Structure 1
Amino acid sequence: MMKPKYTVAGINGAGGEEASGNPALKKLVEGQGGKVFASSVGGGDDEIIAYLKAGFEKGNQLKLYGHSRGGAAAVRIANKLGAMNIHISEMTLYDPVGMYFGGSFNFDYPNVSKVTNYYQRNPVDGVLFWADNPFQGSPVSGSFQWPAINNVNLTGQSYNGGLINHLNITRYAIKNP
């Protein structure tokens, strides 16, 4: 029996390639032969959609990952692909936030099979780079019976001697799926 082939994409959060959970996301995505992108307020979406659409047209299954505002972008992109009848087999989100008008956290089409969303709602201590928890993540929802959504609320959970926060949730979730 042949294993399915995948086209894998990841969408970074704010702050560049080395910020927050972006390095862990990059390692995960590139370790599966995928490509990491950036998207802000829809800028960059066309490149991500073209990459995923090309993989879909080759017969590959699609996997999409997103951290922080990249998680909000992943939901937005899934909805755009849904309008094109393009199916995503699996999505994993790490603390999606809607900063900079990132979009909703609702899947408007039944084109995604499975979503795992790791988020935390621990107290926020600022929006600057030296903050321990600059943002609270969000749960996601769907308008149809698909996708099957697993919202994993990590509020109050510990990691490396402190609370799970926006900056370490990606590393935690990758190590503890």
Structure 2
Amino acid sequence: MSKPKTTVAGIYGAGGEGASGNPKLKELVERKGGRMFTSTVGGGDDEIIAYLKAGFEKGNQLEIYGHSRGGAAAVRIANTLGAMHINIAQITLYDPVALFGGGSFNFDYPNVMKVTNYYQRNPTDHLMSGYEGNMANNPFQGSPVSGSFQWPEIRNVNYTGNLSINHINITQYAINHP
């Protein structure tokens, strides 16, 4: 029996292709044969939804990966696809952040089978002034995610308290330590 085909979408966090955890995310998505996208508070969602819908209509399983605000976009897009009765096999999030009303962290439909969310709520840079051994490079705190139904199966991996993990390096760390 052959393995089902997969359509993979990755969604960049803020700052573009070279910022934060985006290079590692792009490497992962492209290694899986997927395509990277940008979404800013809903702008760009239509292109991502069309790409995933086309894969679903071909009978492919869907996978979505998102870092930072791309993680919030992944949840928002999953909810839009849920309203269209389109199932998603897996979503992997890296420190999802919703800036400027960019999304919620709740899966409103039972259309996603499995979610893995790596996040941290360590002190941010602006709270670290005067902190001995300032780790810096933590501009944002990520968030846990939840669901309204039995599905998706959600695994929130909380790195809070491990001060060597921050918003900038969480993607690389989580990819290397699943």
Contact 1:106/1:141 (8 A) holds in 2:
yes
Shift in Å at residue 100 of structure 1? 2.3
CA RMSD of aligned residues (A): 1.1
Q: List alignment gaps of at least 5 residues for structure 2.
A: 128-135
Percent of pairs with identical residues: 77
The residue aligned with 2:151 is 146
Residues 7-66 of structure 1: CA deviation (Å, up to 9, x unaligned): 000000000100000000000000011000000110000000000000000000000000
Paired amino acid for 2:149: F
The residue aligned with 2:132 is none
The residue aligned with 1:175 is 176
Q: State the distance in 1 between where 2:32 and 2:100 align.
A: 30
The residue aligned with 2:49 is 49
The residue aligned with 2:130 is none
Shift in Å at residue 157 of structure 1? 2.2
Q: State the distance in 1 between where 2:8 and 2:113 align.
A: 15
The residue aligned with 1:63 is 63
Matched residue of 1:8: which SS? Answer: strand
Q: State the distance in 2 between where 1:89 and 1:37 align.
A: 19
The residue aligned with 1:36 is 36
Matched residue of 2:9: which SS? Answer: strand
Contact 1:40/1:100 (8 A) holds in 2:
no
Q: State the distance in 1 between where 2:100 and 2:171 align.
A: 21
The residue aligned with 1:165 is 166
Paired amino acid for 1:6: T
Shift in Å at residue 132 of structure 1? 1.1
Q: State the distance in 1 between where 2:126 and 2:45 align.
A: 28
Matched residue of 2:10: which SS? Answer: strand
Which deviates more, 94-103 or 60-69? 94-103
Matched residue of 2:124: which SS? Answer: coil
Q: List alignment gaps of at least 5 residues for structure 1.
A: none
Residues 57-99 of structure 1: CA deviation (Å, up to 9, x unaligned): 0000000000000000000000000000000000000000011
Q: State the distance in 1 between where 2:102 and 2:35 align.
A: 21
Q: Given the two structures, how large is their TM-score scaled by the length of structure 2? A: 0.94
Matched residue of 2:125: which SS? Answer: coil
Structure 1 residue ranges (4+ consecutive) displaced by more than 3 angstroms after TM superposition: none
Q: Given the two structures, how large is their TM-score scaled by the length of structure 1? A: 0.94
Q: State the distance in 1 between where 2:79 and 2:125 align.
A: 32
The residue aligned with 2:131 is none
Q: State the distance in 2 between where 1:126 and 1:35 align.
A: 34
Q: State the distance in 2 between where 1:147 and 1:72 align.
A: 16
Matched residue of 1:101: which SS? Answer: coil
Question: How many residues matched?
Answer: 170
Contact 1:67/1:96 (8 A) holds in 2:
yes
